[in-house]
Amino acid sequence: MTFRANHLLGIEPLHPTEITTLLDLADSYADHNRKGIAHRDVLVGMTQINMFFENSTRTQASFEIAGKRLGADVMNMGMQASSIKKGETLIDTALTLNAMRPDLLVVRHPQSGAVDLLAQKVNCAVLNAGDGKHEHPTQALLDALTIRRAKGRLHRLSIAICGDISHSRVARSNIMLLGKMENRVRLIGPPTLMPSGISEFGVEVFEDMAAGLKDVDVVMMLRLQKERMDGGFIPSEREYFHRYGLDADKLSHAKPDAIVMHPGPMNRGVEIDGNIADDINRSVIQEQVEMGVAVRMAAMDLLAVNLRKKRGQEAIMA
Ligand code: NCD
């Protein structure tokens, strides 16, 4: 089986072989990017619209670069979170855009499920660039590619995801992807930041960093997502760093060759010590950004192939 999906809305609907197909293609794009080999024929004649209803630096830039590297015409629509009225407005926006006949629509939205809803209303391929606390599939895929390249495999690894799990779409998508690929996932964080019923996802839950990090291969840190918090989830940032911030002492419990990851943006001194983030022997944070472009190129390439097939079949039927 190759890649069947018409949209990339989440990790949940993907089959492990689809994940591997995408990662294999992204791996070759990553090598070509390093060598400066261009692939401007892949999306030539296609229009990509980036619609970000929430702030973004690396995800939006990375989707834009990926589209341009593959030859698409890329348009960025600046959508200010304050100006949206959700629901109807989103559908209206979708219908307006659809009338302009885009081929690829990249959407980030503060409401979980908004991107799925939008995908039902348009005739193009939709890529979820993060919807509320729900999913962030390209982030999990770029994390997977980074792990696979650093560790030489993406199965039977012990991976700790640490910090603000309950507000994190990155954590949700990663838990699903890493589980589908048969890894052992541990979640570490204060009970106030741990979603209830999370152990149903086949993960182990820890409150203590030293115990949770013991002998892991990968340490994935998460940002404290204050914009999604409506009260005091932590006593203070200083206390949080003391108990949950990744520093050399806590990292010493992981395997000696364990890698450190963070999706960005980082809060140095809150969830991670700046020295660990900058340690090129442990941190793969810059590789994650690099793999982000390759993964988004692969995702848009595969979706464009399926879109052309679908449109070809529709033309025959017409
Ligand atoms: C993440 C996001 O937006 O969900 N960032 C990203 O895409 N690189 C994580 C975060 O904001 O902390």
- For every residue of 34-76, which 3-state class applies, written as one string? HHCCCCCCCCCCCEEEEEECCCCCHHHHHHHHHHHHCCCEEEE
Q: If the chain, 318 residues long, is cut into consecutive pieces of 10 residues, what is the mean pLDDT of each piece? A: 92 97 98 95 97 90 98 87 60 86 95 94 96 97 98 98 96 98 98 89 95 98 86 84 97 98 96 97 98 98 96 89
Q: Is 134 in the pocket of ligand 1 (CB under 6 A)?
A: no
pLDDT (0 to 100) of residue 51: 92
- Measured distance CA(213)–CA(162) in Å, rounded: 9
- What's residue 95's pLDDT? 87
What local confidence, expressed as pLDDT, does residue 96 receive?
86
C-beta of residue 59 within 8 angstroms of C-beta of residue 138: yes
What is the predicted pLDDT for the residue at 206?
Answer: 97
Q: What pLDDT is recorded for position 91?
A: 83
For ligand 1, atom 12, the nearest C-alpha belongs to: 223
Displacement of CA 282 from its chain's centroid (Å)? 21
Check pocket membership of 163 for ligand 1, CB cut-off 6 A. no
Provide the pLDDT for residue 93. 82
pLDDT at 82: 45
Atom of ligand 1 minimally distant from the CA of 54: 3
Distance CA(225)–CA(54), nearest Å, equals 13
Q: What is the pTM of this model?
A: 0.96
Which of 11, 139, 227, 272 should be mutated for ligand 1, with most atoms under 8 A from CB? 139
User: Whole-angstrom Cα distance, residue 51 to residue 119?
Assistant: 13
User: Which pLDDT score, from 0 to 100, does residue 317 have?
Assistant: 87
Quick: pLDDT tens for 192-218. Answer: 999 988 878 899 999 999 999 999 999
Long-range contacts made by residues 151-158, C-beta under 8 angstroms, separation at least 24?
151/217, 151/218, 151/259, 154/23, 154/181, 154/183, 155/181, 155/182, 155/183, 156/182, 156/183, 156/184, 157/183, 157/184, 157/217, 157/218, 158/183, 158/184, 158/186, 158/215, 158/216, 158/217, 158/218
